[in-house]
A and B are shown apart, each in its own frame.
Chain A
Amino acid sequence: MKMFEILNIFFKLFFTLVYLTIREQGVKVFFMKLKKSIVIIGILLIAGIISGFVVFKNRNMLPAAVVDSPNDGEKIEYDYSKSVSECVAMEDEIYFKDAVFVGDSRTEGFMNLTHLDATFYTHIGLTVDTFFTDPIVYISGEKVSIKEALKKTTFKKVYIMLGINETGWQYSELFKRKYGEIIDTIRKINPNVLIYIESILPVSQEISETHSYIKQEKINEYNTLLQDLAREKEVYYIDIASSMKNEEGFLPTDAAIDGIHLNKEYALKWLQYLKNHYIVENTQKGDNEQ
């Protein structure tokens, strides 16, 4: 129906209503009702302007990226070589309730300081090797490796941050290969899982210059490899590291007392970054889990 016809019908109805009101209840009542209607319309207009302003302000903030699940069998239109882009922040933390965080002592610190309601499989000194071998997780009263623990865990998402303890390794490709094996293992355990590779957080300049093997340059190299791995394995790369660097490319000195493990302020920044960068996958055609 054309716009002209719609407007035509609207105005006919409006003036019919006006005529009937005046005829039945008088002019005075008509103007009283008109005054009330104007007030209501005014409130709705102001609300609309404010909403419009908010939408306009956030016009560049996309909702969480919604992509088809890789198991739908259809080609996914998502550029896995790119880091997950910023989106409208989550209002709460329910998104993480079915997530498992796998990591070393830095993720352990994140768990301790943010009190995030999620599952954490973390250990001091955890590496891409010991993910498979070291019994560190309590399951049914006994300690098992993270690999074994995941088999007995219900989860829909995994966040992985590993690499700082491997910066002393001689062969960077070995680190990438082992990391890839972790992704393959997780997918085998849970084919529908949404996997995030978190970039390795930076360290302070002092640590980079004085530590025997932890060097920012090596961390940067590993992060480049991880972004490439995300593309190869079609998993999501979250570049938290970039948000934690100062102008010189290091972790700020006020971020960690030892230059490595984030304090509460920066752990909360880490969490906020995750709440601003996330993915929602359709597990069925046309079904938006958001």
Chain B
Amino acid sequence: MKKILTMLLCFLCMTGCKAENNSNIDIQKLNEELSHKIVFEDELTLYEGNIKNLYGIDFAKSSIVYVGSGATAEEFALLEFENTEETEKAYNLLNEYIEQRKESYQTYNPEEAKRLEQAILKKKDKIVLLCVSNDENALKIINEYL
């Protein structure tokens, strides 16, 4: 009995350690790091509206989104979700969003359509990141954190 309990205790400790290693990313801290390092041409402003209007996503646990004046296609978004299913769903919606933006800009402003070709869309744990910028280092910077 003692052996079983000891083994169970060890197992629980290992699981706990594993859970700690998979701790959620703090999007506030991540935003602070990235927003100072990635360069944007347009003046991006923190979006305070409902992101459902932007991306069709109304299930984010939290979000930090920066949008521009419309002069460029640049934007930056960090979205956090409750579980991996929602993360996956949001990732797909944002993929569609980028494709639609590319299509819109193709006739309206082909230069911006090219910028959207380089759009960075990444997911990790329960976070999805979208970054549209002309900064050549953006991907390298983002990869350091995600």
Residues of A within 8 A of B (CB): 105-106, 108-109, 111-113, 115, 120, 123-125, 138, 141, 143, 165, 256-258, 260-264, 267
Tell me the dominant secondary structure on chain B's binding face: loop
Q: Is the CB of A120 within 8 A of B69?
A: no
CA distance A112 to B67 in the complex (A): 6
B42 at the A interface (CB under 8 A): yes
What residues on B are CB-neighbors of A256 within 8 Å? 69, 71
Q: Which residue of B lies closest to A257 (CB)?
A: B71
Quote the shortest CB–CB distance from A218 to chain B (angstroms): 17
B47, B56, B72, B105: the one contacting A112 at CB < 8 Å is: B47
Given known pairs A123-B104, A138-B53, the reply for A263 and B70 (CB within 8 Å) is no
Additional 4 contacts, C-beta under 8 A, given A257-B71, A263-B43 = A108-B70, A165-B108, A257-B41, A262-B69
Residues of B within 8 A of A (CB): 41-43, 45, 47-49, 52-53, 56, 67-72, 101, 104-105, 107-109
Q: Is the CB of A261 within 8 A of B71?
A: yes
CA distance A20 to B41 in the complex (A): 81
Number of A-B contacts (CB under 8 A): 60
Q: Is the CB of B45 within 8 A of A105?
A: no
Which 8 A-B pairs give the minimum distances between C-beta atoms? A109-B70, A125-B108, A261-B70, A258-B71, A105-B70, A261-B71, A112-B67, A109-B69
Given known pairs A111-B49, A138-B52, A263-B43, the reply for A125 and B69 (CB within 8 Å) is no
Q: Is the CB of B45 within 8 A of A113?
A: yes
